[in-house]
């Protein structure tokens, strides 16, 4: 009997441009040196696992995070592996006109935004992607991945919103529960396929060098 399939979800590391306090969604900001070290600290947690499929967001912070992970794993070549590819649907939500701003700067620029957004009266940042559209595209991408013909383990490297929505989708939970699965920068979550569906084994595990930073994307 074959071992159950597992889906490994990694959020990228700290980025340049104060990503721990600024809303970088569609912005293509690069990993900071600290982020590279954070991702490198995850390698021992993945060591010994052979991935049949590796999918990442096309944004550079996810691309580089995936390359660091695969470059440090025995038996993987991050540059030439045929199982590695990008999926545009896994990119973070767009914060529109608020890209790059802090929460305080958003409040100053759009005075009524947070009250209306947090209460659900509006579904998107000014000029940004709606939460409903974001949820739908991530759900579609993750469902297609889960229904694919891969065996063993698959790795997804993406963003906080992507990871939390992927977990909600595979656990068949309500969208309102997504905040319960918000993960730290450079963290690892793992789901295992069972006879009755997917089960969450690990949520937001970080390596020894990562700090308690949550970031925004």
Q: What is the DSSP string of the chain?
A: -PPPPEEEEEE---BTTTTTTB--SSS-PPBPHHHHHHHHTTHHHHTTPPEEEEEE-SSHHHHHHHHHHHHHSTT--TTT-TTEEE-GGGSPPP-GGGTT-BHHHHHHHSTTHHHHHHTTS--B-TTS-BHHHHHHHHHHHHHHHHTSS--SEEEEEE-HHHHHHHHHHHTT--GGGGGGG---TTEEEEEEEETTEEEEEEEEEE-TT--S-----
pLDDT of residue 3: 81
* pLDDT, tens only, 105-144: 999 999 999 999 988 899 999 999 999 999 999 999 999 9
Q: Which two tokens stand for residue 119?
A: 């209460």
Query: What radius of gyration, in Å, describes the C-alpha atoms of the chain?
Result: 17
Residues 156 and 10: beta-carbon distance below 8 Å: yes
Q: Which residues on neighbouring strands pair with residue 15, listed in sequence order?
A: 31
The CA-atom distances, in angstroms, between 107 and each of 83, 97, 127 are 43, 12, 15
**In the predicted structure, residue 23 carries a pLDDT above the cut 70:** yes
Residue 132: Cβ within 10 Å count: 11
**In the predicted structure, residue 171 carries a pLDDT above the cut 50:** yes
Q: Which two tokens stand for residue 176?
A: 């309102």
Overall average pLDDT of the 50-73 stretch: 93
Q: Which position has the token pair 């069972």?
A: 194
Overall average pLDDT of the 159-178 stretch: 94
**pTM to 2 decimal places:** 0.91
Q: Are strands 187-194 and 51-56 parallel, antiparallel or unpaired?
A: unpaired
Residues 140 and 149: beta-carbon distance below 8 Å: no
Give dist(CA 172, CA 180) in Å, integer. 14
pLDDT of residue 217: 65
**What domains lie within the chain, and their CATH numbers?**
6-206 (3.40.50.1240)
């Amino acid at each position: 009997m074959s071992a159950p399939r597992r889906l490994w979800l990694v959020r990228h590391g700290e980025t340049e441009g104060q990503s721990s306090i600024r809303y970088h969604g569609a912005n293509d900001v690069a990993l900071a040196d600290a982020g590279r070290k954070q991702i490198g600290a995850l390698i021992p947690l993945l060591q010994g696992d052979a991935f049949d499929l590796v999918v990442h967001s096309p944004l550079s912070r996810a691309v580089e995070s995936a390359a660091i992970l695969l470059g440090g794993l025995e038996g993987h070549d991050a540059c030439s592996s045929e199982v590695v590819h990008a999926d545009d649907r896994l990119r973070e939500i767009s914060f529109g006109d608020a890209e790059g701003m802090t929460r305080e700067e958003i409040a100053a620029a759009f005075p009524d935004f947070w009250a209306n957004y947090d209460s659900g009266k509006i579904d998107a940042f000014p000029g940004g992607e709606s939460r409903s559209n974001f949820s739908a595209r991530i759900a579609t991408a993750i469902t297609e991945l889960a229904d694919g013909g891969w065996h063993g383990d698959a790795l997804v490297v993406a963003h906080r919103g992507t990871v939390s929505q992927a977990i909600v989708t595979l656990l068949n939970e309500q969208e309102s529960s997504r905040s319960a699965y918000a993960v730290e920068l450079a963290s690892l979550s793992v789901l295992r396929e069972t006879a009755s569906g997917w089960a969450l084994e690990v949520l937001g595990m970080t390596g020894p060098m990562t700090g308690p930073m949550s970031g925004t994307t």
